[in-house]
Amino acid sequence: MRVGVYYRLDSAIGRLIDRPVSKLYRFGFLFSVKNHRPKELPRDWKRQRVRGHYLYTHRETTWRLIGDVLLVGTVIPLRGTVEEAASARLWDNLTGRFAAIVLDEKPYVVQDAFGAQTVFYRDKGKAIASHAGLLAAAYGHSRNKVAADFIKTPEYKSRSVCYLPGLMTMHEGIKPLIPNHTYGLRSGEITRIWPLKERRSSTFDEFFNEFTVLLDAMATVDRPILGVTGGIDTRVLVAGLSSRNVPIRTVTWSPPRIDKKEIPIVENTVKVLGLNHVWLLHEADRADPIAVVSGQNSGGFRGGSRITADTARLFSEGTFVRGYGGEIIRGFYNLRNRKMTGSNVGEMVEAYGSSMREKNPSAEYLRVVTEAFEEYSDICDYSDLRGFNPNDVFYWEHRMGVWGACMHNEMDAAVYNMTGINSRPLFEVSYGLPDEERLTKHLLNRIVISQVPAMADVKVV
């Protein structure tokens, strides 16, 4: 018996068809400017008229209107109130996972700093959505044959982290909005909004103060669920929330998703912090309905996620809080031997390929990736980063803004989730620290120990 009507994207014809599969485009939205309404949407989605425009939402999506600002998703104040930030357009004062749609004379959309709330737009303009497949189906966009062929290549299949180059999606004429940019809903113009001032040197005390502001904000998250590993990125969140007496649930992927050498570290962390903790067993296969839908949600370039299906067995309510933003702070491309020196497209191609095991890419692979990053470079202006390191900015905006952001959509099929280290003021002040201080795990471990001194004896891998 069908308990509800759900939909999947039929990749062959690019249309939405009825199918009893739940969670597709969960927590999603589509927004269209006035007389640009979509041709087709899931019939159980809600439609709202907002200041003359149209907002369509999944039944679990949250939104609110503050003056002329439509906020979709979870919005948490870092400083002041949400109302003050929306009215004054102080997006740096907010964290969470949200899209802010400003409905003034020149309407535009901006995301949270990380870009955890994905936004996709059409080359033809006038509409945006949370998922590329949703937008494609709503307006009849065809499948991107270049992308479809690209994900079948040996080079792509050899990647340890799979995501598309440049602004490519699996649908013709649809692109992702990259963090630190706005998209003009009528004009179609992409505008960089960060950095606005020159990079300056900073101190650990400044970094500590910004992290404290963030942890105070994250303490308000609804029923947080966090991962525990031998690493540092989620540990800083677990320690920070534990020190604030926030009731949290924690989970660890079992081997082989975690190295066996991390197991004693996880057990020690659980003991020291007194955590409510479970081990996730890997039992789902790729045919699991949740796994199938998760692959559609993440953009169709990764396949289904068995981890998401396994997670759905353990958690159905609350907020899974990820630690992705830790690598934005700590660097990643900055730790490579061959670093980016500027906005050179060839260097972007090389950085993108750093997670590829195939070391002799074909001419066709290089052609596709180079063209993708030529377009990316034209749209996302890297010509003047005001002294900020291009390795940091490119990692934040492309790898995290494309791959990391879509991972939230993937996990939504199991449970709502967000990035816990998501603050532009925090990222900015971290980039002012000396490299020998910032580009190590010791930086975040200092925060951990400041929150829970007993964690000083727990190893970090």
Kindly give the residue spans of alpha helices, DSSP state H, lying in 140-188. 145-150, 154-157
- Phi, psi (deg, nearest 5) at residue 82: -60, -40
The CATH architecture of the domain made up of 6-163+172-192 is 4-Layer Sandwich (3.60)
- Per DSSP bridges, beta strands 276-280 and 249-253 are parallel
Q: Which residue(s) pair with 320 in the sheet?
A: 225, 417
All structural domains of the chain with their residue ranges = 6-163+172-192, 204-328+402-457
First to last CA, the chain: 49
Rounded to 5 degrees, what angle do the CA atoms 252, 254, 258 make?
A: 85
CA distances from 441 to 205, 209, 418, 437, 459 (A): 17, 18, 22, 9, 11
- The reported pLDDT for the residue numbered 44 is 86
- The reported pLDDT for the residue numbered 185 is 95
- The reported pLDDT for the residue numbered 42 is 84
Contact call for residues 227 and 311 (beta carbons, < 8 A):
no
Whole-number Å distance between alpha carbons of 192 and 430: 20
**Which residues, at least 6 apart from 226, have a Cβ–Cβ distance to it below 8 Å?**
234, 237, 238, 241, 248, 249, 250, 251, 320, 321, 323, 420
- The reported pLDDT for the residue numbered 35 is 82
- Phi, psi (deg, nearest 5) at residue 109: -125, 145
- The reported pLDDT for the residue numbered 11 is 39
Give me the helix-helix angle, 204-218 and 442-451, nearest 10°: 60
Whole-number Å distance between alpha carbons of 15 and 134: 10
Tell me the CATH class for 204-328+402-457.
alpha beta
Contact call for residues 118 and 298 (beta carbons, < 8 A):
no
- The reported pLDDT for the residue numbered 34 is 87
- The reported pLDDT for the residue numbered 3 is 28
Contact call for residues 158 and 356 (beta carbons, < 8 A):
yes
- Residue 459 tokens, joined: 């190893």
**Which residues, at least 6 apart from 208, have a Cβ–Cβ distance to it below 8 Å?**
446, 447, 450
- Residue 418 tokens, joined: 């967000």
Rounded to 5 degrees, what angle do the CA atoms 213, 419, 155 make?
A: 140
Contact call for residues 51 and 31 (beta carbons, < 8 A):
no
Q: What is the pTM of this model?
A: 0.95
CA distances from 315 to 237, 319, 460 (A): 19, 9, 27
Contact call for residues 97 and 72 (beta carbons, < 8 A):
no
Q: Consecutive 10-residue runs of the chain (461 residues): their mean pLDDT?
A: 34 36 86 90 91 96 98 98 98 98 96 98 94 96 98 97 98 98 96 97 98 98 98 97 98 96 98 98 94 96 96 96 95 91 93 93 98 97 94 97 98 97 98 96 98 98 95
- The reported pLDDT for the residue numbered 379 is 96
DSSP string, 93-124: GEEEEEEEEE-SSS-EEEE-SS--S--EEETT
Whole-number Å distance between alpha carbons of 449 and 456: 6
